[in-house]
Amino acid sequence: MVFSSLFFLYVFLPVCLIFYYLCRTINQKNVVLVISSLVFYAWGEPVWVCLLIVSAFVNWLASGFISSLGGEKKKKLVAAAAIIFDLGLLIVFKYSGFIVENINAVTGLGIPVPNIVMPIGISFFTFQAISYVMDCLWGTVEPQKNYFKFLLYLSLFPQLVAGPIVRYSVIDKEISDRKIKAVDISEGAKRVILGIAKKVIIANNLYAVVEQFFGTDITNLSFFGTWYTVILYSLYVYFDFSGYSDIAIGLGRMFGFHFNENFNYPFICKTISEFWQRWHISLSSFFRDYLFYVPIFGKPRKYFNLFLVWFCTGMWHGASWNFIFWGLYFGIFIFIETKIGKKRLKKWNKVWTHIYSKIIIVIGFGIFYFTDLGQLGRFFMNISGISMLTNGNALWDVLTRDSLLNNLFLIIFAIIVSMPVLQKVKYFFYKWGNNKVYAVGQIGGTLICCALLILSSILLVDNTNNPFLYFRF
Amino acid sequence: MDNKDVEFKRKKGLNNMSRKGVEHGFAVISLMITVPVFIAIAILMIVLPRPEKSEIEKRKLAQMPEFTFDSYISGEYTSGVTEYYDDTVPYRDNLKNVGYSFKSLFGIHTEDEVKVIGKPSVVKPLNDDKDKSGESSAPSKDENSKLESQQESESSTENSKPEESKTESSQESQKESSKEEEVTVENGIIVVKSNGHYRALELFGGGSGSTYAKALNNFHKDLGDSVKIYSLIAPLASEYYTPDSYSDFNASQKDSIESIESKLDKDIVSVDITDVLGEHKDEEIYFRTDHHWTPLGAYYAAQTFAKAAGLDFKELDTYKKNDMEGFVGTMYGFTGDANLNKDSEVFSYYTPDNIDKCMTYYYTTDFKYTGKGKFFNGVGDVRSAYLTFMGGDEQVVKVKTNVKNGKKLLIVKDSYGNAIPGYLFGSYEEIYVVDMRYFKLNLVDFAKQCKITDMLFAMVSYSAVGDNADNLENLRTQAKGKKIVDGGLKDED
């Protein structure tokens, strides 16, 4: 089920919330949440919901063994077995086609390529399971004794299909003991509405422009046309994915859970390292904690691990070479930044670091977009201006001009909202902090949210099919 | 969002009441506003009647799927329920209008603004040799195709999609013939503002129309000299109204039409209307908000045909002009451009003076008689004004006029051709109209058994050059050897 659908908003969610709030005890609430989550998942994956349940069972069992078995070696073996199981699921469902295709390409063996449809969200819940098993092994969390509660952690529908990758430690206590206050419901609801609005009002309309230019052969696309589109695509990915995260975090809060933030205004970063501290935080911190600092093949090797992390980050996004290039591309810049050193980077002129980081990020999203390597090659020719010399491409074109004019306010609005402007507005209201101003801020904010809900719902009428980008990962 | 600093600032400012108390109080107020709005929308979505079709999009909306074990396991059932709920929102068309109006706020509006929909590519001049080898001049084969196939099934909201109406054998032969020439005539849509009015134009990707020409030549071979064949291809409006700045994205339809002419047997008469319409381009010969030409445009085409065929033809002032105001056509639905909706036009059509002396008989697409009717029908909704002519495409129509000259015309057409027959009621004794996309019988058998004397292929360049042309060969080869029985004869006076 997609969050940005009228069916979810006005059928599934209200039914779920009514049952949830009618329940008195936390156990009853948990039952409602697990059933809702399984229904939510089975709505899109009527068969693979079993996989989710089995995966939860295997990882839960492993954590039980880890806590009960004596001896580090045995614990490690159990953890390794669970992780092999988790990664095995990913390899079978996500990468088997890609692996066979590449083996065929290299060896010419002609092995039949398996046509396995990837269950939605497998990348996310598998990573949650891995983080849980590792935390149990390291003793940073108490293993959950109750399978049902663990299933709740893994299947919790707000974050099930597209993150954030919630660590068990974050909601460990809240699974058994949480109080839902009016503030949680109110703030959670506002966050959900903001997320929907980001997706429906901004992301979907930016994507329409992106598709117009990149959705076809880009051989003749002009220099500025390429830059224009890839900038809009970067904004689109941000609004699509951060919008989804807002909805997930907001829904979680409405149910009394407090998930960690997944985005922190990534485009205000000055370096690529900083970008990744602000972008898809739950994923980058996962790789940092469970791969980068983990000794592999003996002792930690800083630079080997760095590139391994970025290879995996890319690979995680999809079974396609462009994603691997995308990960390694960022790896290279982070490697360079590490070599230069944080202190020296800080001394650099802010304007230049902003320009540098934005150019690298935006080109990175070009790599992210083009799964077709031929198109990706043409993208590089266009964005570098080489195709102006080799193919006679124009500096700019009339389509770009008119598209910019037709979407100017949308683009300006999107850029403003991608900056911490909303935060600044909140400051303004709180700065003068008396109760009247606070009241204006609160009620004004609520009314704006209602308007955004109505507007988003209207726009959803025209968007029968608008899945989130991160559903495919 | 990181609210720590914000909370700190607020804490400093709130001296009189406890922080938590104030927060709680406003949260409750906030919920008292948000929850009723949310519940109201949810309830309205359930209690209000759900539409079954969209007038703007000219299509039937999704239906509630039937539950079966298999459909559940495959995920079809659940996705079907979601689709039904999301697709049949109460007041869907009105809400879409609001949504489109909102989207028009995204940009700057100038006196000569152009809005682009779809994915136009730069087109190359027509090169017949290259085209035959399977390469097309415009590369896009994408959402535009969806738009266009939707467009061609537009003619009647009651109709099923063209694909559904094809027989299996015709689908197979279509696959074969489409291999010969890959054509991508669609090249996006632009909405241009000119002289204070908005006009939507389908850009033309180009193509040589080999399939069309080949099919007509085969018809000529099968029918021999007993039937005179005419080919009339109407350009899309983009031939005349595309701004210079977009000429790179719009292939010459004149070139494509001339390319077809050059491939036709010499006994087939090409009725070249491209220049004729060009001379009248300052008149309203194409709708601005619809993908069709106007009945006036069709008049000039019919006049050119009559001249080529040596027919009696009446001047326009002998016709009765009928006006329907507030017409907004299909292009609004295709483009979602609110400006088109606000810039409606007048739908004017012309009825001949002998209309009362002509009888119109309706048949199904496999020529089963369904009854007498009018050729010019009243339409309930002005947005469907183009259905005035025979109520749409999915049927066969026969008109028996008061002319006694023994001439029988068979018009093989797409929806552009619907506007032509009304101008020929004084030229032929009988006129048969079949749609090239829906007709299910063998057209050669049909023409022979109905004793047709003239056969007019009348369609827009999009159909003649694009995939629709594949159907022509199907019409010639499908369902051969069946006896054609005219069930309508019993109703004739």
How confident is the model over A354-374, as pLDDT tens digits? 999 999 999 999 999 999 999
CB-based burial label for B249 (10 Å; 0-12, 13-18, 19+):
buried
Contact with chain B for residue A459, Cβ under 8 A: yes
**Same structural domain, B346 and B240:** yes
Residues 6 or more apart from A117 whose CB is under 8 A from it? Answer: none
Mean pLDDT on B206-215: 92
- B6 vs A contacts (CB less than 8 Å): 423, 426-427, 430
Question: HSE of B76 in the Cβ direction (CA atoms, 13 Å)?
Answer: 10
Q: Quote the minimal CA–CA distance from B459 to chain A in Å.
A: 28
**Same structural domain, B74 and B132:** no
Contact with chain B for residue A57, Cβ under 8 A: no
Distances in Å between the Cα of B29 and the Cα atoms of A257, A466, B3, B25, B33 are 22, 33, 21, 6, 6
**Same structural domain, B335 and B292:** yes
**Same structural domain, B81 and B125:** no
**Chain A residue at shortest CA distance from B117:** A212
- B41 vs A contacts (CB less than 8 Å): 10, 453-454, 457
Strand partners, B413: B435, B458
Contact A441, A426 (CB under 8 A): yes
Residue B290 falls within a domain, yes or no? yes
Q: Tokens 């051709």 identify what position?
A: B417
Binary contact (B34, A435; C-beta < 8 A): no
Q: Which of A430, A457, A460 sits opposite B10 (nearest CB)?
A: A430
Contact A86, A126 (CB under 8 A): yes
**Same structural domain, B328 and B293:** yes
What is the pLDDT at residue A300? 59
Residue B103 falls within a domain, yes or no? no
Residue B11 falls within a domain, yes or no? yes
pLDDT tens sequence across A263-282:
999 999 999 999 999 999 99
- Considering chain A, what is the average pLDDT of its residues? 89
Contact B260, B213 (CB under 8 A): yes
Mean pLDDT on A211-223: 91
A65 pLDDT higher than 50: yes
Q: Quote the minimal CA–CA distance from B92 to chain A in Å.
A: 7
- A459 vs B contacts (CB less than 8 Å): 99, 102-103
Calculate Rg over the CA atoms of chain B: 27
Structure tokens at B370: 């369904």
Binary contact (B107, A43; C-beta < 8 A): no
What is the pLDDT at residue B121? 84
Q: Which of B82, B83, B106 sits opposite A406 (nearest CB)?
A: B106
Q: Quote the minimal CA–CA distance from A107 to chain B in Å.
A: 32
Q: Which of A44, A187, A406 sits opposite B107 (nearest CB)?
A: A406
The DSSP bridge pattern shows strands B408-413 and B454-460 to be parallel
What is the pLDDT at residue A473? 54
What is the pLDDT at residue B153? 43
The DSSP code sequence of B199-215 is EEEEEE-----HHHHHH
Binary contact (B107, A464; C-beta < 8 A): no
B165 pLDDT higher than 50: no
What is the pLDDT at residue B155? 39
- In chain B, the number of structural domains is 2
What is the pLDDT at residue B24? 86
Euclidean distance between the first and final Cα of chain A, in Å? 15
**Same structural domain, B194 and B302:** yes
A 217-236 near B (Cβ less than 8 A): 217, 220
- B3 vs A contacts (CB less than 8 Å): 426
**pLDDT interval class at B289 (50, 70, 90):** very high
Calculate Rg over the CA atoms of chain A: 23
**Residue of B348, B338, B344 whose CA lies nearest to B197:** B344
Contact with chain B for residue A18, Cβ under 8 A: no
Residue B278 falls within a domain, yes or no? yes
3-state secondary structure at position B271: strand
A130-153 exposure pattern, b = at least 16 Cβ within 10 A, e = fewer: bbbbbbbbeeebebbeeeebbbbb
**Same structural domain, B137 and B245:** yes
**pLDDT interval class at A339 (50, 70, 90):** confident
Q: State the residue range of the domain holding B128.
A: 114-491
Mean pLDDT on A55-68: 92
- A44 vs B contacts (CB less than 8 Å): 75, 78-79
**pLDDT interval class at A2 (50, 70, 90):** confident
Confirm whether pTM is higher than 0.80. Answer: yes
A 363-402 near B (Cβ less than 8 A): 398-399, 402
Q: Which of B24, B45, B100 sits opposite A10 (nearest CB)?
A: B45
Binary contact (B34, A181; C-beta < 8 A): no
Q: Quote the minimal CA–CA distance from B444 to chain A in Å.
A: 41
Contact with chain B for residue A458, Cβ under 8 A: yes
- Please count the other Cβ atoms lying within 10 Å of the Cβ belonging to residue B332: 27
**Chain B residue at shortest CA distance from A439:** B26
CB-based burial label for B440 (10 Å; 0-12, 13-18, 19+):
buried
Binary contact (A6, B86; C-beta < 8 A): yes
Binary contact (A6, B29; C-beta < 8 A): no
Least confident of B38-42, B49-53, B152-156: B152-156
**Same structural domain, B69 and B189:** no
3-state secondary structure at position B80: helix
Show which of B69, B87, B105 is a domain's final residue: B87
Strand order in the sheet with B396-400: B269-271, B228-234, B454-460, B408-413, B430-435, B396-400, B359-363, B369-373
**Same structural domain, B150 and B296:** yes
Q: What CA–CA distance (Å, rounded) separates B328 from A91?
A: 53
Q: What CA–CA distance (Å, rounded) separates B200 from B205?
A: 16
Q: How many residues in chain A?
A: 473
Mean pLDDT on B360-369: 93
Q: Tokens 């010399």 identify what position?
A: A389
- Considering chain B, what is the average pLDDT of its residues? 84
**Chain A residue at shortest CA distance from B16:** A435
What is the pLDDT at residue B485? 87
Contact with chain B for residue A461, Cβ under 8 A: yes
**Same structural domain, B67 and B201:** no
Of residues B213 and A433, more confidence is placed in B213
Least confident of A61-70, A226-235, A452-461, B443-452: A61-70
Residues 6 or more apart from A166 whose CB is under 8 A from it? Answer: A128, A153, A156, A159, A252, A259, A260, A282
**pLDDT interval class at B378 (50, 70, 90):** confident
B17 pLDDT higher than 70: no
Could you give the angle at the alpha carbon of B128 between the alpha carbons of B126 and B134, nearest 5°?
A: 100
A302 pLDDT higher than 90: no
**Same structural domain, B362 and B427:** yes
What is the pLDDT at residue B124? 79
Residue B351 falls within a domain, yes or no? yes
Structure tokens at A19: 């049952």
**Chain B residue at shortest CA distance from A180:** B24
Distances in Å between the Cα of B165 and the Cα atoms of B57, B66, B112, B140 are 20, 23, 42, 26
Residue B28 falls within a domain, yes or no? yes
A 153-212 near B (Cβ less than 8 A): 181-183, 185-187, 189-190, 193, 205, 211-212
Calculate helix-pair angle for A373-383, A350-369, nearest 10 degrees: 150
- B139 vs A contacts (CB less than 8 Å): 216-217
Binary contact (B107, A405; C-beta < 8 A): yes
Q: Which of B10, B41, B81 sits opposite A433 (nearest CB)?
A: B10
Catalytic residues of A: 317
Q: What CA–CA distance (Å, rounded) separates A20 from A10?
A: 16
**Same structural domain, B312 and B395:** yes
**Chain A residue at shortest CA distance from B122:** A220
Residue A164: is the preceding peptide bond cis (ω within 30°)? yes
Residue B358 falls within a domain, yes or no? yes
**Chain B residue at shortest CA distance from A210:** B119
B184 pLDDT higher than 90: no
A98-121 exposure pattern, b = at least 16 Cβ within 10 A, e = fewer: bbbeeeeeeeeeeeeeeeeebbbb
**Chain B residue at shortest CA distance from A408:** B107
Residue B100 falls within a domain, yes or no? no
